[in-house]
Amino acid sequence: MATKAFAPAKINLTLHVTGQRADGYHLLDSLVVFADVGDTLEFTQRPVLSMSVTGEHAAGVPTDNRNLVWKAAEAAGWTGHIVLNKMLPHGGGIGGGSSDAAATLRMAADQGVSVGQDAALSLGADVPVCVLAQATRMRGIGEQLTPLSLPSLPALLVNPGVEVPTGAVFSALDSRSNPAMPEGIPVFETPEECAAWLQDQGNDLEPPTTGLAPEVARVLDELASTKQALLARMSGSGSTCFALYPTMKDAHFAAYEIGAAHPDWWCRATQLN
């Protein structure tokens, strides 16, 4: 019998690059939330590990040990067949591969095989926070995690269909020693309060990404011009961007508006938690 798992999109509401270690790893301070859209996985135990990929964004996804899902299964010592239904765009800055790997680790933990944070971190900086899959302040190289309570945030996710290599974005970064977020993050009652506070934060990777991929700047402009938009920002190292709204009705209206104008863009209204 197959075990099913959900791998939600990870959204960086903020992303501050605060330093760089001697080994090259960047230090981050990021407020991370998760969407109610994502990939799904099915796991069927068998003697040998194998994998297949279906879904809207299946093209080009490896089905061997190059895939983080495969690596996560190996780290947990789990064998069987995995079907990954790939609904999130590749290279989109919303942690698709990391969230898929994290869902695999959660599945293994439910079956009694837990993998430590170091092993999760070895799969990627976003994997430990994706294992939590809840609103979290992520610091260091991804190992310092502080769960938070945030209101549900109606949002629209838009990806213009371009992949932005993370290495190129960091190489184009002007400064690697930027201010962190304030030590204390307030308690927000409404999306409006949260968005107002977020206006004073940012994503340090947004300027280099928009320089490398002008399409991302266009998405940000389009999101900012939608009715009732409270904030428009890029997630992670791009190329997915998001806007926050007071209500899901506003988010769905904006999705219709942008989807009609740009049918080739990936566009999803969602709730972030």
Q: Which residues are catalytic?
A: 10, 126
Q: Write out the DSSP string of 9-75.
A: EEEEEEEEEEEE-TTSPEEEEEEEEEEEEEEEEEEEE-SS-EEEEESTT-TT---STTSHHHHHHHH
* Phi, psi values for residue 27, rounded to 5°: -95, 135
**Closest Cα partner for 124 from 28, 18, 57, 38?**
28
End-to-end CA distance of the chain: 30
Q: How far apart are CA 200 and CA 31, in angstroms?
A: 13
Handedness of CA 267, 273, 167, 73 (dihedral sign): negative
Give kind and range of the element (H or E) at residue 157. strand 153-159
Query: How far apart are alpha carbons 243 and 246 in whole angstroms?
Result: 10
238 closest CA partner among 217, 224, 259: 217
Handedness of CA 272, 204, 266, 99 (dihedral sign): negative
